[in-house]
Chains A and B, each alone.
Chain A
Amino acid sequence: MVAEMAHVFLANANEIPATADEENRADYLTILVTRARAGDALAFERIMLAIERRVVSIAWRMLGNSDDAQDAAQEVYLRVFKYLARFRTGEDFRGWLYRITINVCHDLARRKHSTMTARLSEIDFGEEHAKVEDPGIDPETRTLRQQQLAMVRRALHVLSTKERAALVLRDLEGLSTEEVARALGSRPVTVRSQVSSARAKIRTYCERISRQGGHDGKIEL
């Protein structure tokens, strides 16, 4: 999909081949980064296309709503463009990108005077997911399920900043513990501890939801 979109934006598609195989290559981003550092604007557009889904995904899960995720993604791209010259050749570009994304999310949340334990009323996870309907399930069951999922999503925002970042990258984005540690600038053992603590809190939250019915939305961890 990224490759198809790239053809739309690139004036000369032959200049940088953008097939799916090409993008799957490990050094695909490295080539683009090298070209972008040399001043190739098309290469930078390609980088944006290649990373946009991941960036938006992390930002949306960290911030809890699509508007903030969009702002965060823009800021991430701007920082990538601005600091691309500082990026050391041979370094893991994705790790560098994840670190920028997490930092941008922290900054954005701080700027909005809401800590990463955001006010639950501002989190619109539920509304976005409520639009997805499954005709195979009866409406009552579907409603209950959606409420349950919404509560779990809010549980994510009751975690501390570091725990949430570690959990999002490790469990939701599927990175390895070592990759998460590199992205967060910490040690793997620290990440393991944060992820373990976060999972335990989420489980406790889910357990209380099932006990209380999960209608008040004021469950403390």
Chain B
Amino acid sequence: MGKLNCKRASRNVPLFVAGDLSGDLNREMVNHLAICEECDRLAQEFRESNSLLTEACALPEFGAQFYDQIRNNVLDKITRDGISSRPRFGHRWIFASAFALMLIASGVMFLRWRAAPEAPQDLASTTQIAGKTASNQPPESASPLQSKDLPPKTQRPQKPVRRMTLIPPTSQQFQSARNLAAPPDDPQVSPSEIASASEVSSIEIQTSNPNIRIIWLVAANKRGAQEDNQAKSEPEPRTNDR
């Protein structure tokens, strides 16, 4: 450790005079004060001021009555106010418990929300909505309590769902369709097959009105006439009212 200069010594004088230093620093202070008059004078001033403070703040004799009064007041207050020394479940513990419960509850709710599946967007729900729209009646599964005791809820107008159903043709129908597409002089198509294909190829289209379904039928035995008609106009749709 290097030699102590006056600046560092003067910083440590307040601690040195009260014996708060120890080890090397204390020895260096002793050596420095022995050779430095200014620092030694500073140390002497600190000793005097410390001694003056100790003398000035010496505790006066208050007398037994002073202390008796304190004790009696304390005992009176304990008796009068019923102060207990037993540990109580303080307010801060109540707040802490409530906060912890809220935290746990919100955590559980968050986990349940994460675990819940997303709202289904499949055809089944769409069909259900369409069915409700079609019937315009409350579902049969509605509880009797709701239907009897409670006033009927005002139903929100359901947005009509446009649904198009494509009925895949059967193998027989498919074959008949191939026969129709084939040229008339195709040797693979027999007249009996052409006759049996008269009831094939239907396309059903569900309109926005659930009561109206368009069924598009193509008659195979009238292929030639239909080709002529196609050139002139659209095929005649047949509506199926339910």
Q: Do A and B bind each other?
A: yes
Minimum C-beta distance from B199 to chain A (A)? 95
Asked if A199 contacts B49 (CB within 8 A), the reply is: yes
Q: Which residues of B contact A84 (CB under 8 A)?
A: 85
Which partner residue on chain A sits nearest B85 by CB separation?
A84
Q: Considering residues A125, A148, A156, A206, which has the most beta carbons from chain B within 10 angstroms of its beta carbon?
A: A206
A28 touches B (CB below 8 Å) = no
Given contacts A85-B87, A203-B46, are A56 and B56 in contact (CB under 8 A)? no
Asked if A171 contacts B45 (CB within 8 A), the reply is: no
Minimum C-beta distance from A134 to chain B (A)? 12
Asked if B62 contacts A45 (CB within 8 A), the reply is: no
Q: Which residues of A contact B77 (CB under 8 A)?
A: 74, 78
**Binding-face segment, B31-39, B64-72, B124-132, B175-183:** B64-72
B119 touches A (CB below 8 Å) = no
Give A105 to B73 CA distance when docked, in angstroms.
18
Minimum C-beta distance from A72 to chain B (A)? 10
8 A Cβ contacts from B28-87 to A: 45-46, 48-50, 52-60, 62, 64, 66-67, 69-71, 73-75, 77-78, 83-87
B20 touches A (CB below 8 Å) = yes
Give A53 to B15 CA distance when docked, in angstroms.
28
Minimum C-beta distance from A130 to chain B (A)? 10
Q: Which residues of B contact A186 (CB under 8 A)?
A: none
B18 touches A (CB below 8 Å) = yes
Asked if A132 contacts B60 (CB within 8 A), the reply is: yes
Minimum C-beta distance from B40 to chain A (A)? 15
Asked if B45 contacts A125 (CB within 8 A), the reply is: no
Q: Which residues of B contact A36 (CB under 8 A)?
A: 85
Q: Mark A130-159, 1 if CB is under 8 A from B, else 0.
A: 011000000000000000111011011000
> At the interface, is chain B mostly helix, strand, loop or mixed?
helix
Q: Which residues of A contact B75 (CB under 8 A)?
A: 45
B210 touches A (CB below 8 Å) = no
Give A168 to B55 CA distance when docked, in angstroms.
13
Give A81 to B55 CA distance when docked, in angstroms.
33
Asked if B15 contacts A192 (CB within 8 A), the reply is: yes
Q: Mark A83-105, 1 if CB is under 8 A from B, else 0.
A: 11110000000000000000000
Given contacts A70-B70, A74-B73, are A192 and B53 in contact (CB under 8 A)? no
8 A Cβ contacts from A59-83 to B: 60-61, 66, 70, 73-74, 77-78, 81-83
Minimum C-beta distance from A77 to chain B (A)? 4
Give A189 to B70 CA distance when docked, in angstroms.
36
Asked if B71 contacts A61 (CB within 8 A), the reply is: no
Asked if B20 contacts A149 (CB within 8 A), the reply is: no
Q: Mark B11-24, 1 if CB is under 8 A from A, else 0.
A: 10011011010000
Known: A86-B87, A196-B15. 10 other contacts (CB 8 A): A36-B85, A52-B67, A53-B59, A70-B69, A74-B73, A83-B85, A85-B86, A155-B53, A192-B15, A196-B14
Q: 21 A-B contacts, Cβ less than 8 Å apart?
A: A5-B67, A45-B75, A48-B71, A48-B74, A52-B71, A53-B59, A57-B59, A66-B62, A74-B73, A77-B71, A78-B83, A84-B85, A125-B56, A129-B58, A149-B52, A171-B18, A172-B53, A177-B20, A199-B18, A199-B49, A206-B49
